[in-house]
Structure 1
């Protein structure tokens, strides 16, 4: 491999909340860090998060509902996860939440205040308490991203912007040796490093309509699979119930769940309440429940959207509390103060990902993952609203400490070339296939069609996106039940026998296969 060269102790791939948190913390510990991002440093998915950070803060910040507790937050998370979250991992991550948010506040992030001067808090779907702190009304992600980018700048964290990572390099026995990277002009290079953190964000752009920015193409899943890591829970792609429906494809403006936390209700085009009698929490039921109900109602009415009625809010309050939503609606020609907002589910969050510990370690020596690309055991089959920013903050900090502890046993290594061919499918075809057959409401026939469509190589295909898409389809086809945000119309019920995660790896031929297959290699 020829071209430019660089080196570091830790290379962080991605500049969202998890990546920047890890990079800043690791550099403070004396680790030589380099951040690589395929867009600008502030262009990750974090900036688009609206709702807030779900965290039970101590009394001295005045932001805790008296009856709330970390144990209650854990219980709500486990309930939303439909039996697949891991109790120990969930408890560990959520318990570290207060310290992580304090650290973010110390870095310069500013949260909204209530009239009494304490941190304002709201409630979102699946939460039984008002524990979601927010910033800029409905622009929490933007404030978190701003604070971290500013902190990274002050700490002089080196960043390679607009550089594309093409593969994780490994040595002859599969240990991390660095990254293969191309710069903005396509010139290839190598970054040598004994430790790599994948913090690449989500995969919403595998679908035709998503809340995710254009960079969210599932890169980290493909990179991890090719490096030999396990992935799990990929069948659980969460669709946000309320994206602004305009009829267009691509990124759809999100209509934050916090609006329903402040009294907005879902109404169908026939004038009926969408969630009436469906769930004890009504419009604030977990996202998989609300999205599933909306999709079924749309099918019954042959409609393209339902309506979110927030007309009970006066204009001043709406503009102050939900400025991002208000601006998106007005740009689409909708006045949300006097008319309901047309909404429909959109691909939003990957609950699964690269299998890691709560410290971000994978089973590949020197490879770590954090944020949406990782599967820590927190989200299970359905993510509880606003747990994602918290996870990024907590696990990002944990990864920094883990890398610092692991470095004495790691060293720069010579890499070997990966000569496996991974074909690609044209992006438009991939997105159409995923939206039609691997969205909400899947069945064996449609998933088999998706397998065939994703198996057809094209010269203009995207190999990374295709590998990730194939992994999702493989997992969705294997789980013959409905659970969380994985809804199978041919298997509508949940089964106790399926109350476990499905893990997959990439085999030597480039196919995504169950992880237990790897354990059988060489046997006999």
Structure 2
């Protein structure tokens, strides 16, 4: 039993996740309230720090909100909710101003007197509207937000905490079926003890479920934790079949998950067959290398399968060497260390899972179905991305919904009750595990069959095969979870398997090909776009 349960007054709000969405919410809430930020692993271990590209915002004289809205809806294959798209895009310039005020050093151009933000362009965008910090925007944003959070006396940052489950009415000393969320049980990864963290409101900002796939650009911790916890607590999830694959991940057997940003294609990079050297995008789309990600990823997948290739080439060596080094210093340096000079030769690339477009269903205030539970960022389905995320709309979503959730909590604060007494975590009937190999084996198996059966191109038969394996693994993992003390690997495996089940169930329900969900059994797109909503 856990004896060190914190007093209920210790924190007003709990934020789970320390990336762009979580820290944005925490900073806004900390004006008036005590906020606890729980992070699995390190405070910089999430996806935000990895984001190379930038943040999309209408800042150019020739651009309009309507253009950005249209580009987002076109990329999303009509599955977006228009009111969400308008809400987010109209708030983008304000989000950029706030980040500049926090000290994010966005690239500029022009002389000192009339310096303007340097805007780049990415696939699917009709205008230059991506503000960036070289090719490492996410790291600059993460650093600025973290610095501000560390300096705020109302924010407590607690790394090394793997959340196990949300605390709901079921965990109250006087049991309640209300579904009201009161915080989370979290494993202290250093001591192995489970802590009970309670608050009046909880914000999920846990990122996506990318590590459910064998090849992914997502960080190691992207195991769908928030999505799985919210689902188990009773929240609906939506559009989990919409998994975005980034077309260009470095193909290198030594280095895993190194992304070659979309902006390389935006600045003239060409996709070529590695043997013939021919450009192949003209066969697939008139927008060539600047077509939306799903089209480019399927084109590369088709080339690889059709010609039995391991990879294709991305070539920007026709641009002046100084231009390439100036625009892509991080990538240039990394590739040089691997013996590839991108100013003189092509880069070998393959598609890899990149972004979870579906997730916990939220409204414009970041509210989930469960009272007291909010969510923001990649763990959600807000209606912004639809069937395919437009490049550089992801960090933007984090800032807008992190702020929206905080604003709604502040507005409704007086309606939130004090948390009731909560039962501590009970581990009286479990022992230490004596067979860690089970976790490793199951983890590897899930990621492999998800890649092979639920990847870029799908069939009903492959999806049913995946579903059959998930059913068998569910039994194994549940038995293991019931008998042994929790460890981070076990928590992640349980969430990974739950996320895989939600992805496959959603994919089997969609009898069409739309955006990121492409199935050979239903190649046409239905006239009416419809969300896939799963109800616990």
TM-score (norm 1): 0.91
Q: How far apart are the structure 2 equivalents of 1:334 and 1:505? A: 48
Tell me if structure 2 keeps the 8 A contact 1:177–1:414.
no
Tell me if structure 1 keeps the 8 A contact 2:16–2:38.
yes
Question: What pairs up with 1:37-76 in 2 under 5 angstroms?
Answer: 37-57=39-59, 64=60, 66-76=61-71
Residue of structure 2 in register with 1:11 after alignment:
14
Q: How far apart are the structure 1 equivalents of 2:524 and 2:400? A: 34
Question: What pairs up with 1:25-424 in 2 under 5 angstroms?
Answer: 25-28=28-31, 30-57=32-59, 64=60, 66-116=61-111, 117-135=115-133, 137-156=134-153, 157-171=155-169, 172=176, 173-184=178-189, 185-247=191-253, 251-269=256-274, 270-411=276-417, 412-415=419-422
Q: How far apart are the structure 1 equivalents of 2:402 and 2:137? A: 18
Deviation by residue 1:458-505 (Cα, 9 ceiling, x = unmatched): 4486211111111011101111211101111222221124x1101113
Deviation by residue 1:127-146 (Cα, 9 ceiling, x = unmatched): 000000100x1000011111
Q: How far apart are the structure 1 equivalents of 2:279 and 2:411? A: 54
Tell me if structure 1 keeps the 8 A contact 2:2–2:424.
no
Determine helix, strand or coil for the equivalent of 2:387.
Answer: coil
Tell me if structure 2 keeps the 8 A contact 1:194–1:413.
no
Q: Of the candidates 447, 450, 458, which is equivalent to residue 442 of structure 1?
A: 458
Q: Structure 1 176/303 Cα, relative in aligned 2: closer, same or farther at 3 Å?
A: same
Determine helix, strand or coil for the equivalent of 2:282.
Answer: coil
- 1:451 and 2:462 correspond: no
Tell me if structure 2 keeps the 8 A contact 1:442–1:487.
yes
Q: How far apart are the structure 2 equivalents of 1:433 and 1:248? A: 22
Q: Of the candidates 482, 485, 493, which is equivalent to residue 516 of structure 2?
A: 485
Q: How far apart are the structure 2 equivalents of 1:9 and 1:70? A: 37
Deviation by residue 1:437-459 (Cα, 9 ceiling, x = unmatched): 11111111111111111122244
TM-score (norm 2): 0.89
Deviation by residue 1:58-79 (Cα, 9 ceiling, x = unmatched): xxxxxx1x32111110010011
Q: How far apart are the structure 2 equivalents of 1:235 and 1:263? A: 31
> After TM superposition, which residue ranges in structure 1, 4 or more long, deviate above 6 angstroms?
416-419
Aligned length: 492
Q: How far apart are the structure 2 equivalents of 1:109 and 1:169? A: 36
Q: How far apart are the structure 1 equivalents of 2:135 and 2:4? A: 42
Deviation by residue 1:32-64 (Cα, 9 ceiling, x = unmatched): 21000012112211011011100012xxxxxx1
Q: How far apart are the structure 1 equivalents of 2:241 and 2:348? A: 28
Deviation by residue 1:96-146 (Cα, 9 ceiling, x = unmatched): 1111111111011110012342110110010000000100x1000011111
Deviation by residue 1:229-288 (Cα, 9 ceiling, x = unmatched): 110011000000001011468x41110111111111111123221211422321111101
Residue of structure 1 in register with 2:496 after alignment:
465
Deviation by residue 1:202-231 (Cα, 9 ceiling, x = unmatched): 111111111111111111110110111110
